[in-house]
Amino acid sequence: MAVRAPQLHLALRSFCLGAFVHLGRCLEEGDELRFSFAEHAQRAGPAFYEYRPLVRSFIEVHATALASRDDARLALGELLREPAAAIYARSDVVPSAEQALFRTVLSSLLISTAEACGGFDWDDIAFDRAYAELEASLFGEARVYAAAAPLVGLSVVTQIELGGSLRIRAADTAKDEPAFSWPEAQGL
């Protein structure tokens, strides 16, 4: 894989490796990693059972400890030096650029890597894939931005194209829509 920002790659890889070691120790010390269990029935033949570790929630529980590690501070320093990462450093949810970068970049990269690894057994290929996706979003030629704004007094049944990639549509109650996390937005 051709890496566009070698220093950033090294810092983020070191953070993820250190986080895997830290989280592995947490498991050895008795922290519980929950699993999802799903049965996929087939018409003919035995059912397929999927047993998947819920690494996202485990990482989120340990986020404060992970963010205070030296490797996290070094990775954040590299991200702050990268102009392409500036968009991730701006957030109205957290008070500082470092916290925003930890939440949007480091934590997301760690979760993607751990999910691809099926837990906390390191796999270089899984990290390289997750990092390639991050690099594509940082240095890609095209970016897509989305914004939502309530249009009070207007309701639509179908999507209306306004031109210039702008459109009006009814809010979906899917997880990423404002109505999901902001119940007051229902009906706007």
Which pTM was predicted?
0.74
Model confidence pLDDT, tens digit, residues 149-181? 777 787 788 888 888 778 888 766 455 555 555
pLDDT beyond 70 at 91? no
Sequence spans of domains, the chain: 6-139, 146-188
Helices (H) and strands (E) in the chain, counts: 9, 4
- The Cα–Cα gap between 71 and 11 comes to 7
The helix, strand and coil proportions of the chain, stated in percent and rounded to the nearest 5, come to: 50, 10, 40
18: left (phi over 0), alpha (psi -120 to 50) or beta: alpha
